[in-house]
Amino acid sequence: MFQKVLIANRGEIALRVIRACREMGIATVAVHSDVDDDALHVRFADEAVCIGPAEAARSYLNVPAIIAAAEISGADALHPGYGFLSENADFAEICARCGLTFIGPRPEDMRQWGDKVQARALAKRLGLPLSEGSAVLADVDDAVRQAERIGFPLMLKASGGGGGRGMHVIRDAERLRVVFPQAQAEAQAGFKNGDLYLERFVEEPRHIEFQILADGRGGVRVLGERECSVQRRHQKVLEEAPSCGLDPELRADMTSTLMRAMADTGYVSAGTVEFLMDESGGLSFMEMNTRIQVEHPVTEMVMGLDLVAEQIRIAAGEEITFPEGPVTPRGHAIECRINAEDPDTFAPWPGPILEYHPPGGAGIRVDSGVYGGFRVPAAYDSLLAKVIAHGRNRDEAIARMRRALDETIFTGIRTNVPLHRRILDNAEFRSGRYSTRLLERMAAEASSSGG
């Protein structure tokens, strides 16, 4: 097992990794920018190294500085968390060349799943359900020809994109001709890859993702699914597990399919395979994320395991610690992402937190990297905390989350807690029959009623 792990991240995920390491008897090293001098992950790690100024490119994305911090501190492994360098295959290779174990998938896994066109081809070869789409588009004329073959409406996507970025809904050829050069320029600027492709567009999709663990020693586990359909502009806001959209037969079928697929590719570490569910209940592969997800706690709560600890053990060459066979979820879990933002306009709201009181009580977990007196920097993502509620069933999880949100206190900044209250009170959400257009409809209803 590792002696010392450096966490190349910040905020709640850095603290989450520190907690797992501490329980395993592993020393930790935090890296931080100068505006994060007083961050909780810096306080709670055994050691801390400042790696640059606030700008992420000069600190949390500064590979030489991070590697130097690992060498200075004597770390023998590195956990990248999510975001930043977590899916950077070149960074993983640099870690290996420097004698540092990267706690995550192999570089070849990141590359083959990171390019969306290659990932679609791989998914097809592995027998995953796939919607109709195109290969990389040569030019706008090729795009129009492919679009007419597949049929409108379509989604124009960036091959190197992810997290909902670089996506455009196309409903006719004229719109495609207008958007194509713009999307190509956006993709090149955002991902250093201007390749685009087309995929069938689903009007009322559900976003369903499956949690994978594989140890590279023949052990593969599929740990159920998460429902991530509460989204704004393709960015997740609330997640739950299990999904109300899957019946036991479909869940069992996807579990066996994904186990075979991951075994065939030799995948190692944690990963998430994401699908869209259409109005008929059919699934189609969307992408695979080769890292721990923001929403991993809902899986941990219903499965009774520690995914980060399993990641660390796998990276150290150990087998998955729980036995093969179906892993049955225990009850239901919901996660609300609490952001420093206006709950109506979604404008970021950095600044000092004058008071913070996290919720507690039965079935409540809070993953947070802030405290009263902490100044939320403008340089990074606005996530303050993840509140997770677990209950014996979905109704109890919703009731506990509603109570937890009422107990959550932030003063000095604005947060999206009021939005989460509205979601939990929404009849469509409470029915369990909702799509990724839920927030869009809620906003339209509020506007029409003058709310």
Domain boundaries, the chain: 4-103, 132-200, 206-448
Locate tokens 């409406």: which residue? 153
Q: The tokens of 168 are what?
A: 């455009």
> Does residue 419 contact residue 237 with C-beta atoms inside 8 Å?
yes
Q: Does an H or E element contain 357, and which?
A: strand 355-357
Reading the chain (451 residues) residue by residue, the pLDDT tens digits are: 999 999 999 999 999 999 999 999 999 999 999 999 999 999 999 999 999 999 999 999 999 999 999 999 999 999 999 999 999 999 999 999 999 999 999 999 999 999 989 999 999 999 999 999 999 999 999 999 999 999 999 999 998 876 667 789 999 999 999 999 999 999 888 888 999 999 999 999 999 999 999 998 889 999 999 999 999 988 999 999 999 999 999 999 999 999 999 999 999 999 999 999 999 999 999 999 999 999 999 999 999 999 999 999 999 999 999 888 777 899 999 999 999 999 999 999 999 999 999 999 999 999 999 999 999 999 999 999 999 999 999 999 999 999 999 999 999 999 999 999 999 999 999 999 999 999 999 999 988 776 5
CATH architecture of residue range(s) 4-103: 3-Layer(aba) Sandwich (3.40)
- What does each C-alpha distance from 212 to 222, 255, 256 come to in angstroms? 5, 10, 12
What is the SS3 assignment for 390? Answer: strand
Q: List, by residue number, the catalytic residues.
A: 291
Whole-number Å distance between alpha carbons of 102 and 115: 21
Third-level CATH fold of 132-200: Dna Ligase; domain 1 (3.30.1490)
Paired sense of beta strands 167-170 and 4-7, if any: unpaired
- How far from chain centre, in Å, is Cα 205? 18
CA dihedral 223, 398, 438, 304 (to 10 degrees): -10
Please choose, from the candidates 381, 389, 394, 393, the residue with its C-alpha nearest in 3D space to the C-alpha of residue 406. 389
Whole-number Å distance between alpha carbons of 334 and 203: 25
Whole-number Å distance between alpha carbons of 384 and 405: 14
- What does each C-alpha distance from 282 to 226, 231, 257 come to in angstroms? 16, 20, 15
Locate tokens 């009731």: which residue? 399
Q: DSSP of 326-375, one letter per residue?
A: -----SEEEEEEEESB-TTT--B--EE--EEE---STTEEEEES--TTPE
What is the SS3 assignment for 173? Answer: helix
Whole-number Å distance between alpha carbons of 266 and 263: 5
According to DSSP, the residues that pair with 199 across neighbouring strands are 133, 155
pLDDT tens digit string along 51-87? 999 999 999 999 999 999 999 999 999 999 999 999 9
pTM of the model: 0.94
Whole-number Å distance between alpha carbons of 51 and 49: 6
Alpha helix (H) ranges present in 266-303?
296-303
CATH architecture of residue range(s) 206-448: 2-Layer Sandwich (3.30)
> Does residue 198 contact residue 157 with C-beta atoms inside 8 Å?
yes
Burial group, residue 152, by CB count within 10 angstroms (0-12, 13-18, 19+): middle
One fold for both 132-200 and 206-448?
Answer: no
